[in-house]
């Protein structure tokens, strides 16, 4: 596809992508599509009859969240993407004629949470991550006996999920000490977790499990996800019920939802599973996506340094298996729910998706530019996550997920 709109070859928001988000300028928040360095104002485009086959589209495009848009189904989002693609390739199209009105520079807009998140579940789907963390604390038995039989997860806090660019305050909490008693202090082990999150695009029926073969039908798209973590608080509180305040203070998402359809070109086989899972989790074929992922850290007075490069193709538990397990009890999914992968790591030292692994639980330092070092995150550090798929000349990316660490509130 050749567009009349100039789009850089390395742009995450190519004509093959066209992700959905919520933006505002001097006018209220509304739906848009990212194209290169611009945002297409979908409400304004609808008013010029760019989407004639969906008369109800005007209302959903003007909403400050994408939930109602997603309920129209992937058929609708695919229709919007194909209509825009056609208009970008057709000289003299309505989009080209009114480009100055419909296309707004990305630098001039404010991005918002793309959807209202009702529920958020964080999985633990990377074997490399689970094994690496297990080795730190249980070197003789890194993986718990259940790990290869089901997608382990915990239910996180939806209210504190924030969009890229939102600062994160260093949290206070209870931290265990050598004498067995806790101290109440700001965390000294603040960490990021590099993840993807699947955005649920339609409701499932309460009481009815979603079969693994139908699970992907419930996914609207994917975002980058940062599960901010306070490791010292986590170590004290997680037994016996799992993480709580060490995770609930903030989680970040990228502002643009890359649609499920836009990612299909990057499907790859998932790793073989041994032992074979119980039949309700046995998908055939099992696939992941070949998506390059990275993390960088920028100190307050320093340069940005890439500290992790990994790939989503190696996830042991797939999105379909996560959904099948999540709903096997009859637990229902709702539009806007987020199901995150858990930290995505690779075996290489440069592929560790969190500082807990990269620094061996703070025992070693990672090197940043100009001699700076980190065991865990310091105040005013900016963490940036990026991700994209590339196949020949086709690139589909997520943009950036940024967050800056603010000092703890004074006691």
Contact present, 21 and 259 (Cβ < 8 Å): no
**Does residue 129 carry a catalytic annotation?**
yes
The predicted pLDDT at position 56 comes to: 82
Place of tokens 């579940």: 121
Distance CA 141, CA 134 (A): 7
Tokens representing 67 are 């939930």
Assigned CATH for 20-112: 2.30.30.230
Q: What is the pLDDT of residues 28-52, one digit of tens each?
A: 999 999 999 999 999 999 999 999 9
Domain residue limits, the chain: 20-112, 120-406
* pLDDT at 259 (0 to 100): 98
pLDDT of residue 53: 87
Superfamily per CATH, domain 120-406: Fumarylacetoacetase-like, C-terminal domain (3.90.850.10)
Q: What is the pLDDT of residue 411?
A: 67
Check residue 241 and give its pLDDT. Answer: 87
**pLDDT single digits (tens) 188-227:** 999 999 999 999 999 999 999 999 999 999 999 999 999 9
- Cα separation, 383 vs 405, in Å, equals 8
Give the CA count within 13 Å in the CB-facing half-sphere of 254.
31
- Are 316 and 204 in contact by the 8 Å Cβ rule? The answer is no
The catalytically annotated residue of 16, 86, 101, 129 is 129
pLDDT for 132:
95
Q: In which residue ranges of the chain is pLDDT below 50? A: none
Each residue of 216-248: pLDDT tens digit? Answer: 999 999 999 999 999 999 999 998 888 999 999
CB burial string 35-57: b at 16+ within 10 A, e below: bbebbbbbbbbbbeebbeebeeb
Tokens 């109602």 -> residue:
68
């Amino acid at each position: 596809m050749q567009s009349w709109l100039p789009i850089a070859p390395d742009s995450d928001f190519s004509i093959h992508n066209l992700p959905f988000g919520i933006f505002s300028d001097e006018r209220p928040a509304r739906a848009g599509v990212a194209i290169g360095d611009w945002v297409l104002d979908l409400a304004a485009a609808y008013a010029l009859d760019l989407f004639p086959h969906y008369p109800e589209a005007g209302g959903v495009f003007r909403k400050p969240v994408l939930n109602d848009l997603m309920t129209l189904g992937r058929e609708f989002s695919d229709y919007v993407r194909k209509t825009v693609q056609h208009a970008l390739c057709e000289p003299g199209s309505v989009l080209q004629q009114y480009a100055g009105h419909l296309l707004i520079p990305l630098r001039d807009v404010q991005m918002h949470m793309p959807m209202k998140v009702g529920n958020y579940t964080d999985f633990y789907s990377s074997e490399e991550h689970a094994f690496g963390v297990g080795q730190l604390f249980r070197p003789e038995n890194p993986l718990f006996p259940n790990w290869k039989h089901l997608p382990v997860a915990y239910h996180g806090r939806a209210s504190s999920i924030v969009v890229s660019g939102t600062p994160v305050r260093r949290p206070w909490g209870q931290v265990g000490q050598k004498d067995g008693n806790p101290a109440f202090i700001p965390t000294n082990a603040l960490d990021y977790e590099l993840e993807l999150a699947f955005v649920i695009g339609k409701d499932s029926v309460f009481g009815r499990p979603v079969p693994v073969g139908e699970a992907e039908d419930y996914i609207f798209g994917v975002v980058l996800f940062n599960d901010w973590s306070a490791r010292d608080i986590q170590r004290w509180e997680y037994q016996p019920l799992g993480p709580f305040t060490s995770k609930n203070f903030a989680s970040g998402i990228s502002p643009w939802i890359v649609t499920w359809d836009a990612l299909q070109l990057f499907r790859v086989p998932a790793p073989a599973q041994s032992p074979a899972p119980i039949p309700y989790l046995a998908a055939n074929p099992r696939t992941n996506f070949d998506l390059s992922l990275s993390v960088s850290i920028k100190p307050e007075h320093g340069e940005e340094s890439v500290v992790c490069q990994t790939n989503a193709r190696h996830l042991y538990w797939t999105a379909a298996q996560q959904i099948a397990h999540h709903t096997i009890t009859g637990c229902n999914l709702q539009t806007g729910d987020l199901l995150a992968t858990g930290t995505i790591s690779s075996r290489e030292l440069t592929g560790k998706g969190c500082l807990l692994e990269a620094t061996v639980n703070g025992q070693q330092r990672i090197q940043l530019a100009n001699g700076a070092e980190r065991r865990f995150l310091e105040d005013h550090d900016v963490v940036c996550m990026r991700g994209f798929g590339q196949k020949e000349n086709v690139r589909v990316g997520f943009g950036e997920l940024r967050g800056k660490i603010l000092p703890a509130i004074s006691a």
